[in-house]
Amino acid sequence: MYKTDSVIWFDSPAEDWNSALPVGNGRIGGMVFGQPLFEKIMLNEDSIYSGGPRKRNNPSAKKNLEKVRQLLFDEKIEEAEKIILDAFCGTPVNQRHYMPLGELNIIHDETECDFGTRALDLETALCTTEYSIGGVDFCREVFCTEPDKVMAVRLTASEKGAVNVRIKMDGRDDYFDDNSPVSDDSILYYGGAGAEDGIQFAAYIKVLNIGGTVSQYGSFLKCEGCDELVIIIASHTSWRYQDYKQQAKLDAEAAALLGYETLKSRHLADYQRLYRRTSLDLGGNADSLPTDKRLKAFADGAEDNRLVTLYWNFAKYLLIAASREGTLPTNLQGIWNKDLWPAWGCRFTININTEMNYWGVETANLSKLANPLFDHIERMRPNGRVTAREMYGCGGFVAHHNTDIWGDTAPQDLWMPGTQWVMGAAWLCLHIWEHYLFTLDKDFLREKYPTLKECAAFFEDYLIEDKHGRLVTCPSVSPENTYITESGAKGSICIGASMDSQIIYELFTAVIESSKILDCDKEHSEKLAQMRDRLPKPEIGKYGQIMEWAVDYDEAEPGHRHVSQLFALYPGDMISVRKTPELAKAARATLERRLSHGGGHTGWSRAWMINFWARLFDSKKVGENIRALLTNSTSVNLFDMHPPFQIDGNYGGAAGITEALVQSANGELILLPACPKEWKCGSFKGLRARGALTVGCKWDEKTVKAKVTADKDVCFTLVNNFSGMKAVLDGNELSWDGDSCKVDIRAGQVLDIAAFI
């Protein structure tokens, strides 16, 4: 019935939000329930947050900084944490949180119907619901168009004059001001978060009918005897427009003038231009079962490679639907949130979650979809300067473990294991460097180099010497974890968490290498190189694991969801099987210890595990962890479940699948480094590798064939991990030095690869 690797479908309506189907254009999002008689489409607009900007930097932090540091050096952890709790928290404690727009309802007055199917086609980004009432077949089609900035819903029937529905917008009484029809074919729905400086929003709904009539009916638009209906939903907020109501109306009316078919045609051209850049086929067969039944069969042990492909395609779809030019970056739930008070504020959590959202953007050949993230870093910079200066007496800019629509950089929450972490901006800025490595876009690097440099400047001031003469962060935490000292004391605030040193190493490297590429700041680059040499390096602890802290503490929770000390393995590349085998062995021990104590129990954590195992070239573990992710942490609509829903696991899981197929860290290109045995044959096209390379590959149980195309002149090392490999460039077969060969490729050239497995 439906393509098993590109359509999510069901033979029943959604019972709740976690089984509804998402649509979006980066700014407007909707969850379509597919309920035939009383349809619900729960709506979002990416800039609806609970209030305006706040000045939350704690003025007490700077004058207590040295005292806290001394207490930590004296191992008086409890005393230090008491000060941290009061003097280093944000004032007020919380940043602004994300909120929903409202709910569109399409209501038949009949009481009985026969349900057909509901589906989301990932190749077209069209969501459909089919059902019948009294022998008449109905179809609803929903999509969000980025070119024309609206959501469109079309309702058709198999008989003329059969469409009789009421349409309304709904919200919560303390949240919206009005949702009344303003004409016979339009509703204006508007309101705000309630705070004095809250963001105000508006949605404008316009109905187009073929045949029949549309008229005002109380709070509804009543549609009678119509052959077909088109509902256009536009929305804007005061964050972008002063006259947000008028702008919403203008968008809706402009879309209405184009008509449904033109809107759909423009939508398909725009969407498929992005979606079709890459493709994946992992082989295998799959029964054409509803997605929920396929998931259950997979959980029961069935093989279903096409379900894995569907999951990968869904993540690509979600990125296109949630992160477009001019929008905000994807938050904890992308753009889809039903709650006025969502879990963790549905903010941008930047101690892994927001970063994970963009792990796969470069490899999926969707580089420009990272622009909202880069824009938000620039939004954070001026606030981060103030936080750095007022709280720590440092230059540069800094951010903690959360940010919001305003680019807030002060600490969030009153939670010792997470709040006092100064690495948020640094980790985000590494995406700038990654973007350059994948694109070799020197103009982009020149534009963003001041951002990288300013972020590093904070650590030039903030780092201090520990008792071994190393440069360390203090105070900080290893994200969300707690350690136990030899005396049995517990603490979270620490000196020199391993992840901190690893992120700073990567950040300093980015600045140093950028200065070489751009031929600037040589003296400063030399200074950073000297500081980088004094950072703690990954160390092996008493369990054969990578140490999480500068001291080889035990974890209070050995199965913790964060595996922060392995940042150096992924997404970093300081640890690798080929370059640092002893550290790679310790990384494996770290994962085995975490998993043996129940780690990987949240969706995003399990997704991270897939990437770790891929970097360790362990195809068996990759397959096992993909199965665990789909079995234990995936809702029936394929949304990742923390629980509750968090979109990071979708993006991180897809990035891990890609990492099993092609890797390009440390200047090397490796094909099928961790391909599970279940993927006996398959192919991919359009995937990107560092060095501005595009890679396509096809394999079966005996052979591998691949093509690598270069955008720029570049050199890299091709690794042979098969029994034999032949690489031909411009008609010349390349010679091997052991298991690798150097490739010097020019822009536009194609490297042909053939191997026997």
What are the pLDDT digits (tens) for 324-347? Answer: 999 999 999 999 999 999 999 999
59 phi, psi to nearest 5 deg: -70, -15
> In this predicted structure, what is the pLDDT of residue 286?
84
> In this predicted structure, what is the pLDDT of residue 1?
77
Taking only the tens place, the pLDDT of each residue in 573-597 is 999 999 999 999 999 999 999 999 9
The reply to whether domains 7-49+99-276 and 682-756 share a CATH topology is no
> In this predicted structure, what is the pLDDT of residue 493?
97
- Hey, how many other C-beta atoms are within 10 angstroms of the C-beta on 74? 10
Say if strands 714-719 and 668-671 run parallel, antiparallel, or are unpaired: parallel
> In this predicted structure, what is the pLDDT of residue 276?
98
Q: Is residue 723 predicted with pLDDT exceeding 90?
A: no
**Residue 536 in contact with residue 514, Cβ under 8 Å?**
no
**Residue 699 in contact with residue 682, Cβ under 8 Å?**
yes
Q: Over pLDDT 70: what percentage of the chain?
A: 99
- Hey, how many other C-beta atoms are within 10 angstroms of the C-beta on 340? 16
Averaged pLDDT, 200-222: 96
> In this predicted structure, what is the pLDDT of residue 354?
98
Residue 367 confidence class, pLDDT cut points 50, 70, 90: very high
- Hey, how many other C-beta atoms are within 10 angstroms of the C-beta on 301? 8
Averaged pLDDT, 638-657: 97
Residues 58, 92: Cα–Cα separation, whole Å:
9
CATH classification number, 7-49+99-276, choose in 1.10.10.10, 2.70.98.50, 3.50.50.60, 3.40.190.10: 2.70.98.50
> In this predicted structure, what is the pLDDT of residue 174?
62
**Residue 564 in contact with residue 353, Cβ under 8 Å?**
no
Residue 757 confidence class, pLDDT cut points 50, 70, 90: confident
Residue 708 confidence class, pLDDT cut points 50, 70, 90: very high
Residue 171 confidence class, pLDDT cut points 50, 70, 90: confident
Among the listed residues 316, 306, 300, 141, the one whose alpha carbon sits nearest the alpha carbon of residue 231: 141
Residues 592, 398: Cα–Cα separation, whole Å:
34
Residue 609, token pair as written in the block: 């595990």
In which order are the strands placed within the sheet that holds 714-719? 662-663, 668-671, 714-719, 740-745
- The one-letter amino acid code at 592 reads E
Residue 155, token pair as written in the block: 């309702």
Residue extents of the structural domains in the chain: 7-49+99-276, 60-91+305-663, 682-756
**Residue 496 in contact with residue 472, Cβ under 8 Å?**
yes
**Residue 167 in contact with residue 220, Cβ under 8 Å?**
yes
Residue 123 confidence class, pLDDT cut points 50, 70, 90: very high
Residues 750, 753: Cα–Cα separation, whole Å:
10
Residues 42, 101: Cα–Cα separation, whole Å:
8
Averaged pLDDT, 236-252: 97
Annotate 521-564 with DSSP letters as a single string: -HHHHHHHHHHHHTSPPP-B-TTSSBPSBSS-PEESSTT-S--G
Residue 524 confidence class, pLDDT cut points 50, 70, 90: very high
Q: Is residue 178 predicted with pLDDT exceeding 80?
A: no
Q: Is residue 194 predicted with pLDDT exceeding 80?
A: no
CATH classification number, 682-756, choose in 2.60.40.1180, 1.20.210.10, 3.40.50.720, 3.40.1260.10: 2.60.40.1180
> In this predicted structure, what is the pLDDT of residue 252?
98
Q: Is residue 486 predicted with pLDDT exceeding 70?
A: yes
**Residue 108 in contact with residue 36, Cβ under 8 Å?**
yes
pTM (two decimals) = 0.98
- Hey, how many other C-beta atoms are within 10 angstroms of the C-beta on 148? 21
> In this predicted structure, what is the pLDDT of residue 195?
61
Helix (H) or strand (E) holding 118: strand 114-121
Q: Is residue 176 predicted with pLDDT exceeding 80?
A: no
Which residues 6+ apart lie within 8 Å of 488 measured at CB? Answer: none
Residues 458, 402: Cα–Cα separation, whole Å:
18
Averaged pLDDT, 71-84: 96
**Residue 503 in contact with residue 423, Cβ under 8 Å?**
yes
Q: Is residue 56 predicted with pLDDT exceeding 70?
A: yes
Q: Over pLDDT 90: what percentage of the chain?
A: 95
Q: Is residue 419 predicted with pLDDT exceeding 80?
A: yes
**Residue 722 in contact with residue 398, Cβ under 8 Å?**
no
Which residues 6+ apart lie within 8 Å of 633 measured at CB? Answer: 602, 603, 606, 640, 641, 642, 643, 649
Q: Is residue 172 predicted with pLDDT exceeding 80?
A: no
Residue 175 confidence class, pLDDT cut points 50, 70, 90: low
Residue 277 confidence class, pLDDT cut points 50, 70, 90: very high
> In this predicted structure, what is the pLDDT of residue 197?
75
Topology of domain 60-91+305-663 in CATH is Glycosyltransferase (1.50.10)
Q: Which residue has the higher pLDDT, 286 or 295?
A: 295
